[in-house]
């Protein structure tokens, strides 16, 4: 899995941590002007791949929400 993605000019960095038997998903979104926003814990997942995909999808949705105002 790749470490950083670009979507609509923003960078997405998913962060996955294994804690107490589950994978915890988070994401950092960096806007083109350098402002970064971190999601906090998004949920607990049985599989790393599921947590990773959720973090990316969440980050994309946040970007869409901010750019469609």
Domain-wise residue ranges, the chain: 5-67
How many Å apart are CA 69 and CA 56, to the nearest integer? 21
- Output the pLDDT for position 3: 79
Tens digits of residue pLDDT in 17-40: 999 999 999 999 999 999 999 999
The pTM for the full model equals 0.89
Give the chain's mean pLDDT: 93
Q: What percent of the chain has pLDDT over 90?
A: 87
- Output the pLDDT for position 68: 77
């Amino acid at each position: 899995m790749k470490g950083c993605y670009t979507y609509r000019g923003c960078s997405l960095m998913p962060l996955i941590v294994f804690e107490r038997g589950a994978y915890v998903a988070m994401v950092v979104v960096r806007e083109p002007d350098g402002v970064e926003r971190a999601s906090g814990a998004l949920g607990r997942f049985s599989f790393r791949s599921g947590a990773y995909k959720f973090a990316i999808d969440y980050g994309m949705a946040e970007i869409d929400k901010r750019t469609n105002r």
